[in-house]
A and B are shown apart, each in its own frame.
Chain A
Amino acid sequence: MAKTLKQEFTKGLWKDLPPFRLVLGLCPVLGVTTTMENGLGMGVATTFVLCGSNLLVSLLRQAIPPRVRIACFVIIIAAFVTVVELLMQAYTYPLYLKLGVFIPLIVVNCIVLGRAEAFAYKNKVSSSVADALGIGIGFTLSLSLLGSLRELLGNGSLTIWGDLSYSIIDVVPSFQPFTFATQAPGAFVCLGLMLCIINLIGK
């Protein structure tokens, strides 16, 4: 194994940073990032599924026949998504309601399936988990960043978690919210501009 665990972990934070470097799994990125809290919650849920599925796929990689591997991956992922769904219903019900349809849709998030196929199926357990953690944390950071940007512009506030929120109007009383940013068209434009900035930094 040429790469160390640390390298597997850190590549998800910049080199393969989803969704900017790997342009995959855009639906939740656009759909839930109206507030920072939603972005963070979605990111954590996806990270959990990603770690679980990468761990299990990697453990079972000798047992899964190559011809039906995609079906097996989907079943493993669906099982972890159901776990997340039930956990969120039990402990973070308001957030579960806000994320709505996007929680069951983690099943078809290309990032999760992509990591199982491209990484976990070919690598040993420890590096697969490191890879999942790195990609998951990168995904969470990207979602939180986009969420906080859109919330700041569109609402003039920043909700970190539950009641922990700040308002920009307290600091700058003349601030006018730019509602476009929190609405549907704003999601596309904000993500497009962020991608542009990442491209600029990357070069």
Chain B
Amino acid sequence: MGYLELIVSCIFVNNILLAQFLGNCPFLGTSKKMETAVGMAGAVVFVTVLAGTITWIIYHQILVKFDLVYLRTFSFILIIATLVQFVEMFLKKMIPVLYAGLGIFLPLITTNCAVLGICVINIDEEFTFSEAVSASLFYAVGFGLALILFAGIRERILLARVPKALQGTSIALITAGFISLTFFAFRGMV
């Protein structure tokens, strides 16, 4: 697969949120305000690229070599949890400005299924190392893009008069459906 195809495929066609439905809890939870959405998007891009790279190496260099493939889920979640903790400590110490921006979102990422999902997809699709790293990056960028777009629309919904039964999550999901429909239009490109 060429890199251009990979970019379009990861960001638009197979968008992790809107086409593969991974990471919907933070999608609905942190999209009420633009600021939090941007923070979450940044944190996800950062952690996903690291996690995607490390889990790929661990899977191919340790689990496959020692015939321990069945421990995949188990080891990946431990790697992600440790990584998140480590990144948090590192940022707090070394880059306090970035920590202030991303801080509260980092612990939430452990249970963000987009991160684990991307690591598993990298393995299932049998990507090479460089493909896996770039796929992680572009999937995460797609996540961020969808999240920020959605936050922008959701701020507008606050001003709209929504029927009572549809208020809250219900109208948010229907809106997400229409954003998903626009992303659907890219399907012919890959």
Q: A residues engaging B (CB < 8 A)?
A: 23-28, 30-31, 71, 74-75, 78-79, 81-82, 85-86, 100-101, 104-105, 107-110, 113, 183-189, 191-193, 195-197, 199-200, 203
Give the dominant DSSP class at B's interface.
Answer: helix
Q: Is B169 an interface residue (CB 8 A)?
A: yes
Which A residues are in CB contact (< 8 Å) with B169? Answer: 23, 192, 195
Which residues of chain A have C-beta atoms less than 8 A from B176's C-beta?
188, 192
Q: Which of B69-128 contact A (CB under 8 A)?
A: 70-74, 76-78, 81, 110-113, 116-117, 120-121, 124
Stretch of B1-9, B17-25, B36-44, B45-53 lying at the A interface: B17-25
A196 to B166 Cα, complex, angstroms: 5
From the candidates A24, A78, A184, A192, name the one contacting B19 in the complex (CB within 8 A).
Answer: A184
**Contacting residues, chain A, for B120 (C-beta < 8 A):** 101, 104-105
A-B contact pairs, 17 of them (CB 8 A): A23-B169, A30-B21, A74-B81, A81-B73, A82-B71, A101-B22, A108-B113, A110-B25, A184-B18, A184-B180, A185-B180, A187-B180, A188-B176, A192-B166, A195-B173, A196-B166, A199-B164
Q: A78-B74, A101-B117 are in contact. Are A188 and B173 (CB under 8 A)?
A: yes
Q: How far is the CA of A24 from the CA of B78 in the complex (A)?
A: 22
**Apart from A107-B116, A185-B178, 7 more pairs, CB < 8 Å:** A23-B169, A28-B21, A105-B116, A108-B110, A108-B116, A188-B180, A199-B170
Kindly state the separation between the CA atoms of A75 and B81 in the bound complex, as whole angstroms. Answer: 10
Q: How far is the CA of A75 from the CA of B18 in the complex (A)?
A: 29
